[in-house]
Structure 1
Amino acid sequence: MKTFVQRSLQSVIASQLNSNKVILLVGARRVGKTVLMNQLADSYEGSTLLLNGDDISTAELLNDRRVSSYKRWLGDTKLLLIDEAQVIPDVGRSLKLLIDSFPTLTIFATGSSAFDLANRAGEPLVGRQLTYTLYPLAQLELSTTETFLQTRDHFTDRLIFGSYPDVVQMDDINDRIDYLKGMVSSYLLKDILLFEQVRNAHKMLQLLQLIAYQTGSEVSTDELSRQLQIDRNTVVRYLDLFTKVFILFRLGGYSSNLRKEVTKSSKWYFFDNGIRNALINNFSLPAQRNDMGALWENYLVSERLKRNGYLRSQAIPYFWRTYDQQELDWVEETNGQLSAFEMKWNTNRVRFPKAFQTAYPDASLSVVNPDNYLDFIT
């Protein structure tokens, strides 16, 4: 499938390009941040200047924090674009001085690690920045370029290979597998290893593999610590770093303080199914797998996360379980209203937990299966 897919954030960010703010676009490597930046620059009607954070001269320009120096190279620029801004030392101070000194300037900066770009730029820019997250392609976006029948034809591919833009454009299965394995080995941990100076990269990969095998299940950091033979605090730190480079995201348990509800446990999901499958080296078709329930659940919750993010939904997601093993896969709270979903790969009849219905009689209850999943994610 080789086609142009317009990103949901394009029009949102375009509307802010004359705001005299710093617009931060964060997301995993290879999700299309640079492509989106170039598209926005091409369509912008004012004067633009594009800098690359990987170029040492960019750091030299920004770190010479004199307004006269900035004015010399900015000229009449109205939109300053900085790609890979997370590698620029002390970038936040430079951006603040720029945005404070030039009232007609807007800055658009991209970075592949939220913990570095947002944190470095965030503290001095309170009230002067807008932060957006770009994910691998969402079905919400893909649906604008394909028919229902085309979506159905690509359904299995997206479950197995995920939706990184490059992967979606590839026709050959072996090319997709090689790409995803290369992502795991070369790119996913790059920001962590660069900025956090983590020494045990092999332990980090082992941790990701353990999470991959436990997708959709509650995860015990104590058990992970024992399996990896590393300190529990190190496990917690690694998990936090994985969220900040957009590999994993956490789901906590919902409770209205009923004593029997589980709230301290966590579930962990991957932002992309292809990355999850590359970690465990399993690209088999659904009929040949014994983990389709977990794979299906990961696909749905990651797509729902993208959907809610792009539609700017106020829903807060959770899972729900009691100590006697009654559970629901996904619960959203929106302005005090609960919506609960059970995700089933097989379309058999589902019984919703009586404890949940008793505790939350006004909550809506739905089953998400291969027949109706598009309603849930688009």
Structure 2
Amino acid sequence: MNDFLNDYNQTVHPSLLKSFIDINNKKLAGYGLDEYCKQAITNIQKRLQSPHADVHFMPGGTITNLTVISHILKPYQAVIAANTGHINVHETGAIEATGHKVITVPTADGKLTPELIAPVLFHHSDEHMVQPKLIYISNTTELGTIYSQQDLKNLYQFCQKNHLFLYLDGARLAMALAAKDNDLALPDLAKYTDVFYIGGTKVGAFAGEMVIFNNLSINQDFRFSMKQKGAILAKSWIVAVQMNELMQNDLYFQLGQHSNNMANKLKTVFEKAGLTFASKPQTNQLFVNFPNQLAEKIIAHYAVDNLGPIDDHNCCLRFCTSWSTQIDEIDRLERLLQSWLS
């Protein structure tokens, strides 16, 4: 079956695979204390223009989110997220399982703003309710939209004013930073978040993410939290060598750009077919509105995410392109779509 279901459906980019082979015969220290981890830390600190950033290597996105969030929050504190946020929808209650409430905010485009967060703070004003302390956002959002530099700056300043911490999930950060409309750069993330992570799993890595603490008042003993949550890898160099390779010669951004380019070509195919989108196409996720009969044909031939009915006659399907999507896959879908519509 043809596959537009997600952006982690192929094992590893060849350059990253080669990086494994190149070090395969070396004996290395464990738990992030090896030479490749140290090299990756130095490299990303330079990229961020932040020599004191505290960097850690994690196996995947969900365990990164639950480890970071539960480490920062006190037992009575909560995290605020968009109602579409990954920690609310796709992590099996992982945050709640650590004892922390996820307070959700409805948002049309997947993005949080100070105006959307302010009412939550107003209604959580005393010790009879959980205390909101952390704002969780992702870039890209779960709807494929992105934060501008001004968006992020406004949020960060709002958080500082209200004694909140800002955490950015960067599972698809490569796609966000490579987006046509983007004006954010890596140093902005060091400047306008308390903590964020650079995702590798969805950008050609076998697995792995890199957490960066910018606020050094909240990272104390983080390795203890990592170990307790099962997040500290004995072979942490597996993540580090991939991150080194991704950042070398801007491969990370090139793969994000390729994912976006393939989505843009797919967007043109859908537009030619007269189809509309449930959210603004900006990166590698497309949320396409289909008549039910046409959607049934798509689902019979393609692995896509069926998000359910819009009304009695239409539904929304998510198409996700990746670093490995090829133009002939787009062309094949276009030919099929044309045959069904003719």
Taking structure 1 as the reference length, the TM-score comes to: 0.26
Taking structure 2 as the reference length, the TM-score comes to: 0.27
Task: Name which structure has the greater RCO, CA cutoff 8 Å, separation 6+.
Answer: 2
